[in-house]
Amino acid sequence: MMETQNFQGTSQAGDFQSALQEAINEALTAFSFIDGAAISDQRIAWKLIEISGSKGGFLGEKTITVTIEARAD
């Protein structure tokens, strides 16, 4: 079994689903090669680790960042 790694996704629009999908896509990309061989049907297992963000200010900032822990499955 491979070790887990952390991945982050961020949405400047404050959209949780977009931030989560970005983190998952980062994990899929990172695990697309194992021992130098391309994996054509990659599968990962992931767990939500942290959600953070910021909101407000003159510019109406509403950023959300999602951190997941993932491993090749």
Please identify which residue in the block is written with the tokens 């822990």. 69
Compute the distance between CA of residue 66 and CA of residue 46 in angstroms, rounded to an integer. Answer: 12
Compute the distance between CA of residue 52 and CA of residue 68 in angstroms, rounded to an integer. Answer: 12
pTM of the model: 0.86
Q: Is the pLDDT of residue 1 over 60?
A: no
Give the mean pLDDT of 31-43: 78
Question: Which superfamily does 5-72 belong to?
Answer: Flavin-binding protein dodecin (3.30.1660.10)
Sign of CA dihedral 11, 65, 33, 43: negative
Q: What is the pLDDT of residue 73?
A: 84
Q: What is the pLDDT of residue 49?
A: 98
At 1, which amino acid appears? M
Are 29 and 23 in contact by the 8 Å Cβ rule? The answer is no
Q: In the chain, what are the domain boundaries?
A: 5-72
